[in-house]
């Protein structure tokens, strides 16, 4: 089996949420090999709702914990091709991680494994079949800033 080359380059851009709040979008670039492999057909959205501080962002303590969780998830899913994190949205009282997944069963196992060191977090996980990567394409078209700009 050939290994997929997954880029680890990210862009960050401000956007406006549905309720007009500021949302910081962090998107992953150079994921075309994964997208075109046809294996990552399910989209999983992990949502962490928090009490928003000023501007809809998390307070310092929550932000630090989120950063640790973020690192744990990136570390877990960097090792093999079960899931790829493609976007992270923060703002309006919630943080969302968007994954494209090749196996929901394996993803669930790996996700629980990654978050074992933490107390149980207020996370909800939603999955949807999205073989065309519509969410990712929409995020990219609306928020990606070309390096040349």
Partner 1 sequence: MNQLWLWIVISLAIGIISAFVFTSAVNRMAEVPEDTTDNAAGISKLSNIALNTVVFSILSFLIVWLIMAVLQRGPYAVM
Q: H-type helices in the chain, by residue range?
A: 32-37, 60-78, 104-114, 134-143
Q: Pattern of binders to partner 1 over 12-51, x per CB under 8 A?
A: --------------------------------x-------
Question: Could you say whether residue 100 binds partner 1 (CB under 8 A)?
Answer: no
- Cα atoms found within 13 Å of the Cα of residue 135, Cβ hemisphere only: 23
| Cα–Cα distance measured from residue 138 to residue 146, given in angstroms and rounded to the nearest whole number | 15
Taking the complex as a whole, the smallest distance from the CB of residue 77 to partner 1 amounts, in Å, to 14
Q: Which is nearer to partner 1, 64 or 113 (CB)?
A: 113
Q: Which of 111, 133, 139, 143 binds partner 1 (CB under 8 A)?
A: 111
Contact 55, 148 (CB under 8 A): no
Question: Could you say whether residue 2 binds partner 1 (CB under 8 A)?
Answer: no
Q: Which of 6, 24, 63, 123 binds partner 1 (CB under 8 A)?
A: 123
Q: What is the dihedral of CA 65, 27, 93, 104, to 10 degrees?
A: -80
Q: Which is nearer to partner 1, 21 or 103 (CB)?
A: 103
Question: Could you say whether residue 126 binds partner 1 (CB under 8 A)?
Answer: yes
Task: For strands 94-101 and 83-91, give the pairing.
Answer: antiparallel
């Amino acid at each position: 089996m050939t290994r997929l080359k997954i880029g680890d380059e990210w862009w960050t851009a401000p956007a406006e949420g549905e309720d007009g709040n500021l949302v910081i979008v962090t998107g992953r670039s150079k994921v075309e090999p994964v997208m075109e492999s046809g294996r990552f057909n399910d989209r999983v959205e992990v949502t962490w709702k928090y009490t928003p501080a000023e501007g809809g962002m998390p307070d310092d303590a929550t932000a630090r914990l989120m950063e640790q969780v973020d690192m744990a998830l990136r570390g877990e899913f960097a090792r093999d091709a079960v899931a790829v994190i493609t976007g992270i949205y923060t703002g309006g009282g919630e943080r969302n991680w968007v994954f494209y997944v090749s196996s929901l069963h394996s993803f669930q196992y790996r996700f629980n494994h990654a978050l074992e060191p933490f107390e149980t977090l207020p996370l909800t996980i939603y999955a949807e079949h999205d073989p065309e990567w519509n969410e990712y394409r929409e995020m990219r078209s609306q928020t990606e800033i070309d390096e040349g700009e």
